[in-house]
Amino acid sequence: MKATTEAGKYKYVVLALLYLGWCVSYIDRAAITFAATYIAGEFQLKPSDLGILLSSFFLGYSLLQLPGGWLADRFGSRPVIVISILMWSVFTAFTGLAWSISSLVIIRFVFGLGEGAFPAASVKGVAETFSKEERPKMSSLLMSSNYVGSMLAPLIIAPMIIQFGWRNVFHYIGIAGLAFALMYWFVVKPVRAARGDAAAEAEKKAINKQAFRTLLKMPLMWQIVAVWFGLSIVNKGLDSWMPTYLMTQRGLNLKSVGLLLPLPYVLAGIATGIGGWVMMRFFDGRERYLLIGSSILTAIFVYCMYTSNSVAALITYQCIAYFFKSFVLATCIALPTKMLPANLIGTSIGMVNLGGQSAGFISPLVIGFLVSAFSNYDYAFSFLIAAACFSVLVSLFIRTLKSSAYAQHA
């Protein structure tokens, strides 16, 4: 009885550490968006140059999504997570040593490679620790950390830049990441299947080539990837450019931006945290309706942001847009954990994140060139709305089964 209680507590310790790891990663990656105006001034950059800089991270990040998931399925989540945190923390610190735009782009690219293995490995960590029935809810709860980290980033990074300068901020948060990697390694134990439990042993077997190929041939998985690609165009575009947009187009200073930008992430965190539960409770076997409705409402409120006449209205509409787009994130992460065994979770989440982070490379870059070409954000917002509509279109073709049917098939 005591061992069961300790195991129950331990799995929530693992979840808490994974949650904290996501917060650290988002604080580290968001720092560049708040330092962007200072970097642009120091290196005399145009909006298109900033777009290249912001996108360089997502190029590296997207390249490691699928390999990172495969590595987690092959060797377990723990070593992949620790190496990922160590690598991104080192290159976060190196960002503060950059001497030119070229060096910044290279450092941010390698930083992205470091972070790229973490998302799939972290969801794999949930799959290793929680039962199949718990995974959709716990994986979407874990994803709410994205927005908690994004909410904390302005509150932490903006005052630090003002106080210490942008270069020192990257040194400090890089050191904090290294300390967290060591803590994770010593607290989290390697996963072992219970002896005599055939189902647990089968789930914890390393992924093989046949399973990997079968997963890559699943049309439903690629539909999920495409849906999250479209919404990630919105997600990454707004995440990357809103600080600059608010300062250059709406006349706010960095301090004001640091106070306002956390607000949308509060609603996004709530939606993502409950998204897995909402999906299982109300849309089990009908997930496409949740995806279609959330994508349509995201497009509507991004348009409302574009046409708003005041900063207060803009932030309000951004909050609502983030709330609905986050149901899409929760569903796209929770669906593979509902459908697939644990030994495929890492790779499947790597596929989903490949779509999301490919959009993260494309969106800031396209917005930067659109702003440079037209000297305003009109076409940038149109680009974001079109991406949300693309997700609506793909969602129309998604067909899923109830969780009981997947359990029976397994």
Residue-wise pLDDT tens digits, 306-316: 899 888 899 99
CB atoms within 10 A of CB 406: 16
- The predicted pLDDT at position 331 comes to 93
Cα 248 → chain centroid: 26
Q: Among 332, 218, 210, which residue's Cα sits nearest to residue 272?
A: 332
**Domain, as residue range, for 142:** 12-187+202-409
Domain annotation covers residue 73: yes
Encode 315-348: b = buried (16+ Cβ within 10 Å), e = exposed. bbbbbbbbbbbbbbbbbbbbbbbbbbbbbbbbbb
Spatial contact of 93 and 174, defined as CB atoms under 8 Å apart: yes
Q: Quick check: is 7 in a domain?
A: no
In total, how many domains does the chain have? 1
27 within domain boundaries: yes
- Mean confidence (pLDDT) of the chain: 84
User: How many other CB atoms are there within 10 angstroms of residue 76's CB atom?
Assistant: 20
Helices (H), 76-165: 77-95, 101-116, 118-129, 135-143, 145-164
CA nearest neighbour of 230 among 372, 362, 351? 362
**What is the reported pLDDT for 319?**
92
**Between 303 and 213, residue with greater pLDDT:** 303
Residue 193 domain-assigned (yes or no): no
Positive or negative: CA dihedral 328, 334, 338, 339: positive
pLDDT at 198: 47
50-92: pLDDT as tens digits: 777 877 887 888 888 888 888 888 888 899 999 999 998 998 8
In a domain, 194, yes or no: no
Q: Any idea of the CA torsion for 382, 385, 386, 387, to the nearest 10 degrees?
A: 120
81: domain CATH number?
Answer: 1.20.1250.20
- Is residue 75 assigned to a domain? yes
Confidence of residue 160 (pLDDT cuts 50, 70, 90): confident
Q: Are 124 and 204 in contact (CB under 8 A)?
A: no
Residue 152 reports pLDDT greater than 90: no
Whether this prediction's pTM lies above 0.85 is answered by: no
Residue 231 located in a structural domain: yes
On the question of pLDDT at 190 being above 50, the answer is yes
**Position 392 pLDDT exceeds 90:** yes
Half-sphere exposure at residue 195, Cβ-oriented, CA atoms within 13 angstroms? 0
| Residues 6+ away with beta carbon under 8 Å from 6 | none
Is the per-residue pLDDT at 195 higher than 50? no
* 308 touches 196 (CB < 8 A): no
**Inside any domain, residue 241:** yes
